[in-house]
């Protein structure tokens, strides 16, 4: 089993345990903040299970029908995950406003506080585990999951603070105010996940720093006269690169192939967490302006 799949299974189990514990205390205590956290943990469970199948599908080999593989399934999963997170934030805001209007009382504060302390410790350990897997694999789904649980960690800390304040002041409106703030923050945190997923689906270019390094690797090869039409994109697992190399007109194909192999190997070293699919094209002279004119 790949580290990515293992990570989603562990995340699903942890989220399920937290959901059960939080729901029990959230319903019993009447705390909108704890209930909001329980709903968020329930969504975490669903998302982590969904992510497992998304990763499984994205790891499938290319076929005659899907000749570039199914790496973009990760981007689709990220967009869906971000959308679900946004909807959960909207629901939490609704519950917070509802509690503020009806001024319901929060009970079982001791139990609620203990549950949130437990949740913070467990989530902290899970976040660090997911971040380590994301760092090793560069997987977008795990990265999104880590970011999601990181927002959970911060929101759990805020919920704990709100419960402590309610405990010492008796002001139940504090629970509603903090719940409202958590809902807004959750929606804000989902934006980055959705944005990255959409960018991948739209074939956005690689990071500008990586492109600058690719440019350097090509230009510094002593047998390359120039190059043009550098195009890059990623599907979350594979990085795709295309470019036109301008070489000596009378150079043998074998030599041209050797040069491109050297450049490809140097480019692949720029990010060893992802697979690279590099497609060079050989030109005997720089025809960039001519071809650009034909395309207009």
- Encode pLDDT of 215-227 as tens digits: 999 999 999 999 9
pTM beyond cutoff 0.85: no
**Taking phi first (over 0 means left), then psi (-120 to 50 degrees means alpha), and beta for anything else, what does residue 31 get?**
beta
The tokens for 218 are 């090509």
Domain 3-201: CATH superfamily is: Cation efflux protein transmembrane domain (1.20.1510.10)
Which tokens is 97 given? 């406003």
From the candidate CATH numbers 3.40.1020.10, 3.30.70.1350, 3.40.50.620, 1.20.1050.10, the one assigned to the domain spanning 208-295: 3.30.70.1350
Structural domain spans, the chain: 3-201, 208-295
Measured distance CA(249)–CA(259) in Å, rounded: 14
Query: Which residues fall within 8 angstroms of residue 27, CB to CB, at 6 or more apart?
Result: 35
Per-residue pLDDT tens digits for 137-191:
777 778 777 877 887 787 788 778 888 888 888 787 887 787 788 778 778 878 8
- What is the residue-level pLDDT of the chain in tens, covering all 296 positions? 778 788 888 988 988 998 888 888 877 777 777 777 787 788 778 777 877 777 777 777 778 888 777 878 878 888 887 888 788 788 778 877 877 787 666 667 788 888 889 989 999 999 999 988 888 877 777 877 787 788 778 778 877 888 888 888 878 788 778 778 877 877 887 887 788 889 989 999 998 999 999 999 999 999 999 999 999 998 877 899 999 999 999 999 999 999 999 999 999 999 877 789 999 999 988 877 665 555 44
Phi/psi for 175 (5° steps) reads -60, -40
Which two tokens mark 70?
A: 């199914």
What number of H helices and E strands is found in the chain?
9, 3
Could you tell me the strand order of the sheet in which 238-246 lies?
226-234, 238-246, 275-283
């Amino acid at each position: 089993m790949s580290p990515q799949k293992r990570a989603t299974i562990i995340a699903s189990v942890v989220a399920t345990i937290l959901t059960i514990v939080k729901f029990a205390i959230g319903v019993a205590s009447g705390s909108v903040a704890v209930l909001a956290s329980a709903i968020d943990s329930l969504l975490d469970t669903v998302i982590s299970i969904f992510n497992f199948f998304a990763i499984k599908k994205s790891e499938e080999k290319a076929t005659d029908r899907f000749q570039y593989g199914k790496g973009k399934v990760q981007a689709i999963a990220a967009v869906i995950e971000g959308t679900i997170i946004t909807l959960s934030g909207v629901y939490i805001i609704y519950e917070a406003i509802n509690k503020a209007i009806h001024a319901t009382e929060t009970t079982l504060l001791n139990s609620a506080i203990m549950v949130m302390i437990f949740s913070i410790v467990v989530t902290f350990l899970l976040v660090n585990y997911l971040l380590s897997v994301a760092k090793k694999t560069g997987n977008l789904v795990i990265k999104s999951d880590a970011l999601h649980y990181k927002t959970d960690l911060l929101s759990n800390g805020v919920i704990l603070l709100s419960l402590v304040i309610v405990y010492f002041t008796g002001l139940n409106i504090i629970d509603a105010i903090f719940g409202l703030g958590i809902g807004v923050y959750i929606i804000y945190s989902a934006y980055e996940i959705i944005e990255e997923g959409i960018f991948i689906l739209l074939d956005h270019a690689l990071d500008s720093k990586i492109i600058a390094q690719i440019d350097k690797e090509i230009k510094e090869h002593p047998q390359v006269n120039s190059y043009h039409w550098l195009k890059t994109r990623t599907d979350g697992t594979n990085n795709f690169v295309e470019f036109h190399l301008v070489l000596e007109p009378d150079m043998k194909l074998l030599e041209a192939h050797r040069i491109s192999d050297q450049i490809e190997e140097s480019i692949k070293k720029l990010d060893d967490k992802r697979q690279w699919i590099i497609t060079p094209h050989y030109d005997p002279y720089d025809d960039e302006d001519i071809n650009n004119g034909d395309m207009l």
